Amino acid sequence: MKTDDLFDGIVTRPYKRWSDLKLGAEAQKIQTMLTGNTLVPVTQPNMEVFGAAVTDYVSQLSKAASRDVNAIAAKNVRRAELVSLCIQLGNSVTSSANGDVEALVSTGLPLRKKRTAAVLTAPANFRITNGVNPRELDVKVNGMKAARTFGFEYTMDPPTEDSVWVKAICTTSRCTIKGLQAGKRYWFRASVTGSKGQQVTGEAILSPYVQ
């Protein structure tokens, strides 16, 4: 899979959400990947300035492990400085890369991933059990992120060419079908409908006898 298929060319700014250790590790990775990078030869700040900030932060982070108040305060200052430089670096690289996703990926900077359309598939793991009350059946399939609604069609056993299929629409992957005939069995088939109206239907299965 090409990098263009994974990222949309937007440098993100998650630095303030990162832990101290993650910020240090990611900043070191960025420094390594940008040093001598022929795809992005010029950056602002340059790697000498950025590298010095990374070294200062990592060093102060180690000192802050002692829990000394002054060391922690100094670490927080170095962290803020490094975050600011990371943001500045992201702006610089975005400008120089001019939409070249390969160049952006080579920097090690955090990039926004492309949103991929969820795939709609036939409902899986269809289960039918007797409900809590008489003349009810509980029907359930596995949930699906791509689904907007679930449908459960049913008809009395045995099905014929003249059988009428009744459909229940549910917003969740489970539903209780009421008003069935006790002592009878029903054929069910589950379907799922996506956000654009597309629909996929699974195979029909036979229920237990209705209590």
pLDDT in tens, 190-200: 999 998 888 99
Query: What is the fold of 127-206?
Result: Immunoglobulin-like (2.60.40)
Question: Residue 192 and residue 114: Cα distance in Å, rounded?
Answer: 25
> Which residues lie below 8 Å from residue 153, measured CB to CB, with a gap of 6+?
165, 166, 167, 168, 188, 189, 190, 191
User: Is pTM beyond 0.75 here?
Assistant: no
Phi, psi (rounded to 5 degrees) for 172:
-120, 175
Q: Where are the domains of the chain?
A: 3-113, 127-206
Instruction: Write out pLDDT tens, residues 73-118.
Output: 999 999 999 999 999 999 999 999 888 999 999 999 999 887 766 6
Task: Please give the angle made by the CA atoms of 159, 163 and 166, to the nearest 5 degrees.
Answer: 105
CA atoms within 13 A on the CB side of 8: 7
144 or 152: which leads in pLDDT? 152
